[in-house]
A and B are shown apart, each in its own frame.
Chain A
């Protein structure tokens, strides 16, 4: 199985940058996902990494190091609407399609 760790909460100012770290342990890594979840809403897909390196998509970027069992999600030019929970999820090669989610990081953006 997987153990996924991410910080519980982070606070940042509008316009700033925030980096959310995620560490994991898995018996058969097969991809890492980041999801955004606003309060009372469904998780929505943000990014996917399966190879080492940085994936950039607009204001959001995600990085993966498989050897270190480490990923981060970088949110740039923070906006108030970015206040949400960010979930790190790892897919296990031994159970294709099954995602193990972390507890989520609550990001609070202040004016």
Chain B
């Protein structure tokens, strides 16, 4: 079974430029998450989708960040314009979903390491 796929793996941009990250979750997983991880810290949730609905975006900086999951499968996270402080690893994760019960563990992709110069 294929895991969570993310692209690109690395991205270097200059500040004020736009950038986009793509995520394809595990097949059949209803819930998709975008996290930000700074060096030496744990992942911090940016947004969570249940199918195509964003059910928790309270920590997404909406002035410059946006996300979409139009068909309830893959998702894109965008930053426009990027700032120096956005340099971090952006992780995507997926889980079966609330309705499936159980531990509903999250499976993480390899992440995109963003460097803003």
Give chain A's interface residues, CB within 8 Å of chain B.
Answer: 4, 31, 33, 35, 40-45, 48, 50, 87, 89, 95-99, 101-104
Contact = CB atoms under 8 A, between A and B. Distances in A.
A104 B40 contact: yes
B3 to A, nearest CB: 8
Contacts, number: 49
Contacts of A43: 43, 91, 108
Contacts of A96: 98, 104
Contact of B56 (A40, A45, A95): A95
A15 B109 CA distance: 30
A104 B42 contact: yes
B103 A48 contact: yes
Contact of B45 (A35, A40, A99, A102): A99
A97 B98 contact: yes
Interface hub of B42, B91, B113 (most chain A Cβ within 10 A): B42
